Copies of this chain bind each other. A is one copy, B any other.
Amino acid sequence: MKLSQGVEWMLHGVGVIAHAPPGTSVARRVLAEQYDLPEAYLAKHLKALVRAGILTATTGPAGGFRLARDPADITALEIVEAIEGSASPFVCQEIRQRGLVAVPPELCRRPCGISTVMDRAHQAWRESLRDVTVVDLMRLIPKSLRDKLVARLAANAR
- A interface residues with partner B (beta carbon < 8 Å): 1-5, 7-9, 11-12, 15, 33-37, 76, 84-85, 89-93, 95-96, 98-101, 103, 107, 112-114, 117-118, 120-122, 124-129, 132, 136-137, 139-140, 142, 144-145, 148-149, 152
Partner of A95, one of B2, B35, B84, B93: B35
| Distance A112 CA – B35 CA, assembled complex (angstroms) | 14
| Distance A15 CA – B96 CA, assembled complex (angstroms) | 12
The answer to whether A124 touches B128, judged by C-beta atoms less than 8 angstroms apart, is: yes
Known A107-B142, A122-B125; contact A99-B5, beta-carbon cutoff 8 A: no
> Could you tell me the distance in whole angstroms from the C-beta of A46 to the nearest C-beta in chain B?
15
